[in-house]
Every structure is written in C-alpha cells, then in structure tokens.
Structure 1
C-alpha cells in the first residue's frame, strides 16, 4: 500500500519505502532475485487468486480463517495491536464498548473491518476467541487510510466517529498530526505474516527458510529498529 506509514508509503521522491518494503528487499536479496514492488488496493491483495500477478505479500497481513482458504502463511514476521483512534477533541470514546452505534473508519477488506463486524477469527488462534465489547457499529470502509484520517480530522461525527487501525501506524500518524489520539487500551493483538498463494509447498518452505535467516542474523530486528524504534519481529 502507498499510504500505510511506517510500513509502506511514498516518500518525497515518489518512491516506495518503509518497514515492509525493506523486508521485501531483504527477502529478494537473500533469494538472489530482482524485486518488483506492486501496490494494488488492499481488497485486491486480500482476495487472493492472484493468477501469477504476485509471488508474495510482505504487506502486514493478519492470518484470518477466511484468508486461509486462499493463502498459505509461511511465517509470522511481526506483531502489532489493533487500537481505536479518535479526534483529539473527543472524550466520549475511551474503550471498545464506546464504539456501539458509532461510525468507524477502516481499510476495506481488512481484519479491522472483520473485527468490527464480529466475524474475525485469527488463523491458529481459534482457541483464543476475540472479545467484541461493542454492540453493532456502522463500519465505513476506505481504500486509503490517509483519506479516513482526513475525514476524522474534520471532527467527531462529521464523517467518522473513530478509526480502528494498527498501533504502530497510529503512533506514526499522531506524531505527525496532533489532531488525533489513541483511545483506551488495545482491542486485540494481531500477528502479521507473509502470505503466498495456497498450495506451493516448495515456495512455502523457501520463504520460511529465508525469513528465519533474516530473524536469526538480526536483519529483521535492524529493519524494525530503523522504522519502529523497537524490535517487533520477535
């Protein structure tokens, strides 16, 4: 994605950079192949059935039960909590229960959208069901998180009451723009994985091996320190 800092975004030279971009570069270098970055919309990525258009998603994907029908998830490469972001002037939304009846912005086809619809099951964590402390919410899907933040900046209830997103991207945005703040504790923790199309055991094993090497030799930790200021890869 082109507007998901610090994981992937366009810099002032109109070049893609960020945590995920550097991880993808490291994977390609370790494989000895030329990297070609593609940034289709998230709903296109998450739908799967790539038909050879892409080989791998290093794109902060959470392994949901629904996605496991079309993807294999060779390896987890970081974890990040999901949080509520509100307009800085808002004092009414302070916890998950306060989302009831509110209009909440999320990336379209994201796990945050599934969570707010109460149908998210994280693959591999079926024994730890998520809690949904809110009644029904009005979900507002966006193709672009930057646009959602712009709408939230207009004031609580103008176009949005809040957003649900990744703690790290939220902190990044808030550091640049004081019109927003995080409300309450994290909603749940999300594992983030590299994803490949289902059914290629050899490619699955190779990706697992390469990411394992990048973890073991500190490359992933260094990339994490560079972009996040902490090692979120372990």
Structure 2
C-alpha cells in the first residue's frame, strides 16, 4: 500500500510539472525580427549566412531584456514595410528613420539611435561643400526608399539623383567613376571609407538633418495597433540604456554615443 501510494502521489506531481513547463513555454514571447542585412556596420549578412552589426546586437539585447525568443528574417529594403504588414515578421530593426510618411503605415518605438547624414565624393573631387549650389550639375547616388534619397531629391534639385536598391550598388558606381558623390548615414559612409575600396573617396561634409525628412531618429517599426509590443520594446530600450548594455554595444562599433541628443 505504501509503495502504491507513493506512485499515486508521484503521478499528479509529474503531471503538474509538465503542465507548468508547458505554461512557461507558452508564456515565452516569440518574435520574428526583420532586417535588411546589407547596411554595415548596422546590419550585414556575412558570407556564412549569419547576421552581424549594431542593429543585430541591439535586437538581441532587447530580446534578452524582454525574455523573448527571437528569430531574424532578412528582407530587401524596398519591400520591408509591406513584409511587416503581411506578417512575415513582427518588428523591423534595420536602421529605419521615424518619419511622418512611414507613420501612416506602421507604428514606431522611441528612437534607439540618431546619427547625421553625410556626402562622400572621390578624393580628386572639385565639390567643396554639401549645399544645393555645391552639388549643382553633379550626379548623386543614394539608396532608394530612404530618408537620404528623399533629402537628395528634395534639396539637390539641380543635381542628377540616381537611386539604387542597396548601398553596396551605389558604392560600386562611386568607385567606378559613374557617380560624383553619394549621400547616406555618416557612420555607414565612414565604415565604407575604412575599406580598401573606400580609399578612393572622402567625406565632403555632414548635413544637419531636416526633421520633416529624417524625423527624430531611428526606431523599431511594428504593425499598426500593436501597442503592447511597442511599449515592451520601449521599456527594453530604456532598460538597456540604463543598465549599461547599450553602451557596451555602442562602444563595440563606435567611438561616440550614436544615441544622439
């Protein structure tokens, strides 16, 4: 009788443990994170198929803070918002500026960084500044569907603005002499200048971001109405800023605080 009783008591205990384990598994937030994988040093797909960069490390830190099980999905830039809306992933962490136009399609978290745009040109350029007049008559490259392409098309109206699907493609045309200059984030351009190919070129100047185009900074996009996820991400951004994890990631890539003012 004593042995039978122990067995009888053990069965409910085991069942309870299984039930608790199942409940805990169900409670774990599962997220798919969309990113481009073609925008170093923020996000880049390596030759072995892994992702690296500031965006990727920040995403991992946020997932850890939220105790979420996260999976990355790569997506071409020009289709990244439609892919989010279609449910291919739950959030975009891909250096996306918070702009009024995008806010009509998606919701954003608070910013997680904010760096200025810049113009790069060949070392032997006669371009001396970054005003409309300085760039008049020049062929300017930019990645399409970005705040930088919007700025170029709006403010360099006396230039021939050429748009490219990826940053790598405009860099190739700049190296091969098919462009007079390019515009992009200063950090992205400085990373390019450190490479062997980037030895061709130099920063002509940085631009003061126009908030109507660039917005308040770079945020995480989520589908419209997903306020719970947005607020959890906001809380996690604040937490990693407060606990030093953000600075640890920042200092891995940059010599200054990219969070901005």
1:142-172 deviation digits (Å, cap 9, x = unpaired): 11211211110112xxx21211100001111
Report what 2:107 is aligned to. 72
Superposed displacement of residue 2, structure 1: 2.3
User: What is the aligned counterpart of 1:181 among 195, 198, 202?
Assistant: 202
Question: Matched residues in 1 for 2:227 and 2:167: separation?
Answer: 34
Q: Secondary structure at the match of 2:141?
A: strand
Query: Which runs of structure 2 are paired with 1:220-231 in the superposition (5 Å)?
Result: 220-231=246-257
Query: Which runs of 5 or more structure 2 residues have no equivalent in the other structure?
Result: 1-35
User: What is the aligned counterpart of 1:104 among 128, 140, 145?
Assistant: 140
Q: Secondary structure at the match of 1:96?
A: coil
Superposed displacement of residue 225, structure 1: 0.7
Question: Matched residues in 1 for 2:136 and 2:252: separation?
Answer: 37
User: What is the aligned counterpart of 1:37 among 49, 72, 75?
Assistant: 72
Max Rg structure: 2
- The answer to whether 1:139 aligns with 2:161 is yes
User: What is the aligned counterpart of 1:2 among 19, 34, 37?
Assistant: 37
Question: Matched residues in 1 for 2:189 and 2:167: separation?
Answer: 10
Query: Which runs of structure 2 are paired with 1:20-169 in the superposition (5 Å)?
Result: 20-47=55-82, 50-97=85-132, 98-118=134-154, 132=155, 134-155=156-177, 159-169=178-188
Between the two structures, name the one with larger relative contact order (CA 8 Å, sep ≥ 6). Answer: 1
- How many residues are treated as equivalent by the alignment? 217
Q: Secondary structure at the match of 2:80?
A: helix
Question: Matched residues in 2 for 1:21 and 1:83: separation?
Answer: 23
- Larger relative helix fraction: 2
Q: CA RMSD in A?
A: 1.8
Normalised to the residue count of structure 1, the TM-score between the two structures is 0.85
Query: Which runs of 5 or more structure 1 residues have no equivalent in the other structure?
Result: 119-131
